[in-house]
Amino acid sequence: KGGGLYGDREKERAQRDQEKKVAAATKKRQEEEKKRQAEVLAAEELKARRKRWEDICVERMVKHQHVQSYEEWDAEEQVREAAEAEAKKAAEKAKKEKEKKEKEAARRAKEAAEPEVVDDEELDASLVRGYKTTSDGRRTSYFNNELDEKSKALIGDITPQKIGA
């Protein structure tokens, strides 16, 4: 079988096309399975809902009350469920809002608290590497040179002097 100059490329392209077809078929099967499962779940839910309506009808018959049709009962039940869902949603929103306000208040209280005073002895030396504290308590670069009285006396007067002729 000759296949031509680009036979290997044509085989690769055919293989990729085949893999795409298999992937598409698999995806389609999965979507159909999900759809079927959703239909089964909906049918079971409807069956459970009808069973609940029948139980309520039996209770009403025992109490000699008016029995509603399934459509009437279902409409009222949907309204009731929607109201419950709305109330639950509002309660959840209020809870989140309350938590948000509490966090904000805690953050503000923390900011308003006085800053913590740390003595130099308590500081970890590795955290303040490259800095030193001057005699007046300022923290400066390690290379900032502050002369003591003995050093000043040794150096003497360093003011510029007029050269006498």
User: Vertex 114, ends 109 and 117: CA angle to 5°?
Assistant: 140
Question: Which of 27 and 159 is assigned the larger pLDDT?
Answer: 27
pLDDT of the residue at 104: 92
Polymer length in residues for the chain: 165
pLDDT of the residue at 159: 85
- CA 67 to chain centroid: 50
Q: Could you tell me if 71 and 54 are in contact, meaning their C-beta atoms sit under 8 angstroms apart?
A: no
pLDDT of the residue at 162: 86
Q: Quickly list H helices, the chain.
A: 7-62, 70-112, 149-155
pLDDT of the residue at 131: 80
Given a cut of 80, whether residue 165 has pLDDT beyond it is no
Q: What Å distances lie between residue 59 and 52, 55, 78, 82, 126, CA to CA?
A: 11, 6, 20, 24, 78
Question: What's the whole-number mean pLDDT along residues 157-161?
Answer: 84
pLDDT of the residue at 143: 80
Per-residue pLDDT of 124-151, as tens digits, reads: 554 567 788 887 888 888 788 888 888 8
Burial of 132 (0-12, 13-18, 19+ CB in 10 A): middle
- Categorize the per-residue pLDDT at 7 as very low, low, confident or very high, splitting at 50, 70 and 90: confident
Core vs surface per residue 76-107: b (16+ CB within 10 A) or e: ebeeeeeeeeeeeeeeeeeeeeeeeeeeeeee
Residues 6+ away with beta carbon under 8 Å from 67: 57, 60, 61
Residues 6+ away with beta carbon under 8 Å from 135: 146
- Percent pLDDT > 70 in the chain is 88
pLDDT of the residue at 21: 97
Per-residue pLDDT of 88-138, as tens digits, reads: 999 999 999 999 999 999 888 888 776 666 565 665 554 567 788 887 888
Given a cut of 60, whether residue 68 has pLDDT beyond it is yes
